[in-house]
A and B are shown apart, each in its own frame.
Chain A
């Protein structure tokens, strides 16, 4: 067995998940492909959203994939970093907004 949970070479084996469940695997990849086509949002905009989400869900495969995808689309590093900050801001906001729950509970328990 590999000594590490993550191997960069595993990314290119992603398609193999269909081997153990062809129907669900194919449905997933069809859906995935469709999502990233040009639509009301451009494929370029979706690539930046995917990059931001990749960071929020902390998926090293996704970060590799969407950094490369961004480079291919001519997306600049400034745009990429701003997207990462947008993801990080929502993530830290999601933590901090729970501060209101803490405050509510604190106030309720306090005399």
Chain B
């Protein structure tokens, strides 16, 4: 009996909130929580009021630097903290037609960085075609966010390191900790060993090696209800441990704060950490981080071509407040003249040294 309950719980953990028909799969429900009594009763200030204290409301975009494209929510992993609610059961996948619309923008944009994310972007059937086409556009920095384990998930992915190298892709990979226990707890059993193997494969073709231009950066997310520590200190710890234990090299570590949305919000509520976590974020609020928060230089595109201020707003279904809302109608001038949509999850990007897909900002 107990065994079968445990099996059920384990199975449930391997499904997305959407597949479980969990109420929190609904963006509206998440926004209600983020606007809930903790803020409505005045215990904590709304993000809007907080940034108004330093004259930073409304938040406005600066020059576009990063075009971030989410090519689908399908993933081979079901990580406990995932803000996308990604997993093998997610069927939202960008079509070649939408990719074509993205390419039209990539070829004409002034953005210096193209950033592909997911899900596991490699699981999109047109991923390789898209990378080949996009790499011809001559973008300065072409990032693919790879979860590492995908490289070992199936024979057809084993050559990804070579493929990335061929197209001079900048690989950014998640690695929650340099110890097995913490990594597997957040991302699933066996993830640590596979990630280590994948990093060694990337190193082997030259990625992450000192003095090599094939860039390999790691992303650290705290595996629990706490904020990341100093990025430089964490990078030193990671470098020392991964080199000594596994002879792995990488370039930089990006420390990213978990935002209270989707599966991480579900975890915070279930573990009775939500209130404390929001207090921690607000207490660590840093107005200097607001200045460089990533929504001011990024546009996020969803699998179906809609435009958002960031990947988090995408998951909360908060489309850009602009006449242009879809990649097919993309227009830099119109988009740059918009107010960025904010809510209380934004405190995640302004805590401490700030947080973005490129790590700290302040």
- A residues near B (Cβ < 8 Å) are 8, 12, 43-44, 68, 71-74, 76
The reply to whether B233 and A71 contact each other, CB–CB distance below 8 Å, is no
B-side contacts of A12, CB under 8 Å: 279, 283
B-side contacts of A73, CB under 8 Å: 229, 233
The reply to whether A72 and B279 contact each other, CB–CB distance below 8 Å, is no
* A99, B234: Cα distance in complex, Å: 45
* A68, B234: Cα distance in complex, Å: 16
The reply to whether B177 and A68 contact each other, CB–CB distance below 8 Å, is no
- B residues near A (Cβ < 8 Å) are 177, 179, 222, 224, 226-229, 233-234, 237, 276, 279, 283
The reply to whether A72 and B179 contact each other, CB–CB distance below 8 Å, is no
Q: Residue of B at shortest CB range from A12?
A: B279
The reply to whether B279 and A44 contact each other, CB–CB distance below 8 Å, is no
Assuming A12-B279, A12-B283, is B226 touching A74 (CB within 8 A)?
A: no
* A45, B20: Cα distance in complex, Å: 43
* A68, B226: Cα distance in complex, Å: 7
* A50, B234: Cα distance in complex, Å: 20
Q: Residue of B at shortest CB range from A42?
A: B233
* A60, B279: Cα distance in complex, Å: 19
Scoring B224, B228, B233, B283 by chain A CB atoms within 10 A of each residue's CB, the highest score goes to B233
A31 to chain B, nearest CB (A): 20
B331 to chain A, nearest CB (A): 42
B-side contacts of A71, CB under 8 Å: 222, 224, 226
Top-10 shortest CB links A-B: A73-B229, A72-B229, A71-B226, A72-B226, A68-B226, A74-B237, A12-B279, A72-B227, A74-B234, A71-B224
Q: Residue of B at shortest CB range from A73?
A: B229
Assuming A44-B233, A68-B226, is B279 touching A74 (CB within 8 A)?
A: no
The reply to whether A72 and B228 contact each other, CB–CB distance below 8 Å, is yes
* A43, B229: Cα distance in complex, Å: 11
B-side contacts of A8, CB under 8 Å: 276
A-side contacts of B179, CB under 8 Å: 76
* A8, B177: Cα distance in complex, Å: 28
* A8, B226: Cα distance in complex, Å: 16
* A103, B78: Cα distance in complex, Å: 63
B-side contacts of A44, CB under 8 Å: 233
B55 to chain A, nearest CB (A): 25
* A12, B179: Cα distance in complex, Å: 31
Known pairs A12-B283, A74-B234. 12 more at Cβ < 8 A? A8-B276, A43-B233, A68-B226, A71-B222, A72-B222, A72-B226, A72-B227, A72-B228, A72-B229, A73-B233, A74-B237, A76-B179
A64 to chain B, nearest CB (A): 9
Q: Residue of A at shortest CB range from B220?
A: A74
B-side contacts of A74, CB under 8 Å: 177, 229, 234, 237
A-side contacts of B234, CB under 8 Å: 74
B218 to chain A, nearest CB (A): 13
* A8, B279: Cα distance in complex, Å: 13
A79 to chain B, nearest CB (A): 11
Q: Residue of A at shortest CB range from B178?
A: A74
* A45, B85: Cα distance in complex, Å: 37
* A76, B181: Cα distance in complex, Å: 10
B232 to chain A, nearest CB (A): 11
Q: Residue of A at shortest CB range from B241?
A: A74
* A50, B227: Cα distance in complex, Å: 19
Scoring B177, B234, B276, B283 by chain A CB atoms within 10 A of each residue's CB, the highest score goes to B276
Q: Residue of A at shortest CB range from B283?
A: A12
B286 to chain A, nearest CB (A): 15
B283 to chain A, nearest CB (A): 7
B-side contacts of A76, CB under 8 Å: 179
B221 to chain A, nearest CB (A): 12
